[in-house]
Amino acid sequence: MTARASSPVERGAGVAVWRQIAQRIEHDLRAGGQGGGARLPTEAELASRFAVNRHTVRRAIADLAARGLVRVEQGRGTFLQDLVVDYPLRRRTSFSANLLAQGREPTHQILEVAEVAADAIVAGPLAVRQGTRVVQSTSIGLADGIPISYGRSWFPAARFPGLADRLRGYTSISATLADYDLADYRRETTRVLARLPSADEAAGLRQPVTEPVLVTEALDVDAG
């Protein structure tokens, strides 16, 4: 698509070249309704097209990728992303940030991750046979450094290849804990509410993009 010479970018203008390129690509993407995972030109191609260094194109693409417009795959190419970045990932990051910011958010520490055979107790709810390999995660939840919860979870190993390692790598929260937290701890933290502009319209649009607003409100509560 857009095989045209592509008018050159403005050098020396106030706007960084990579921004101009990012914007142009974005515009072109939105214009030419390339559904699904349409593929973008290669970095080299774009570089020559815009007459810039490949790094400059990469910077632009990095921006688009960060905003969830495209997805980059090594060795394959860059593709239009209509599904956006995901939430959990960001969620985790925001959690880390939280942790860093204050020291008193409830945290979750994974003590141990092991792969064991499912026993009778576990096998039932997981709908697997006894003896099936399951990943067992043992963790504690902390609030202000004080242990609040202790939990053990099991996941079917087969269904989640690599889960064990992944769990070891991260320190994630226990939802249950967080949920409780949401009810009680909230008092002295900041809240964020996500409000869909209108749960209805979100449906009609074919565009994969709906943009509800996230309202953040700080709530100071006197102790007690």
Partner DNA sequence: ACAAATTTGTTCGTATGTATG
Partner DNA sequence: ACATACATACGAACAAATTTG
Site residues for its own copies, window 124-163 (CB under 8 A)? 125-127, 137, 139-141, 146-156, 159-160, 163
The CB-of-201 to its own copies minimum distance in angstroms stands at 11
The CB-of-46 to its own copies minimum distance in angstroms stands at 18
Question: Is there a contact between 27 and 71 (Cβ–Cβ < 8 Å)?
Answer: no
Cβ atoms < 10 Å from Cβ of 102? 11
Does residue 18 touch its own copies according to CB under 8 A?
no
The CB-of-22 to DNA minimum distance in angstroms stands at 9
Give how far Cα 22 sits from Cα of 86, 160, 173, 194, Å.
Answer: 21, 37, 36, 28
19 contact, one of DNA, its own copies, none, CB 5-8 Å limit per kind: DNA
Alpha-carbon distance 42 to 60, whole Å?
13
Q: Which of residues 185-224 bind its own copies (CB under 8 A)?
A: 186, 189-196, 199, 202, 208-219
Alpha-carbon distance 85 to 31, whole Å?
21
Residue of 31, 32, 33, 55 interacting with DNA (CB under 7 A): 55
Nearest CB to DNA, comparing residues 78 and 174: 78
Residue of 32, 42, 83, 188 interacting with DNA (CB under 7 A): 42
CA dihedral for 14, 5, 34, 204, sign (positive or negative): positive
Nearest CB to DNA, comparing residues 75 and 145: 75
Scanning 51-59, 113-121, 163-171, 216-224 for contacts with DNA by CB under 7 A, the matching segment is 51-59
Q: Is 181 helix (H, G, I), strand (E, B) or coil?
A: helix
Does residue 88 touch DNA according to CB under 7 A?
no
* Euclidean distance between the first and the last CA atom of the chain, given in angstroms as a whole number: 63
Nearest CB to its own copies, comparing residues 5 and 203: 203
Alpha-carbon distance 70 to 150, whole Å?
40
Does residue 52 touch its own copies according to CB under 8 A?
no
For helices 54-66 and 17-31, the axis angle rounded to 10 degrees is 60
Closest alpha carbon to 9 in 69, 67, 49: 49
Residue of 3, 5, 12, 214 interacting with DNA (CB under 7 A): 12
Q: Which of residues 163-222 bind DNA (CB under 7 A)?
A: none
The CB-of-63 to DNA minimum distance in angstroms stands at 9
Identify the helix (H) or strand (E) that includes residue 172: none
Question: Is there a contact between 57 and 46 (Cβ–Cβ < 8 Å)?
Answer: yes
> Under the rule (CB under 7 A), what is the footprint of DNA?
12, 14, 16-19, 40, 42-44, 51-56, 58-59, 61, 72-78
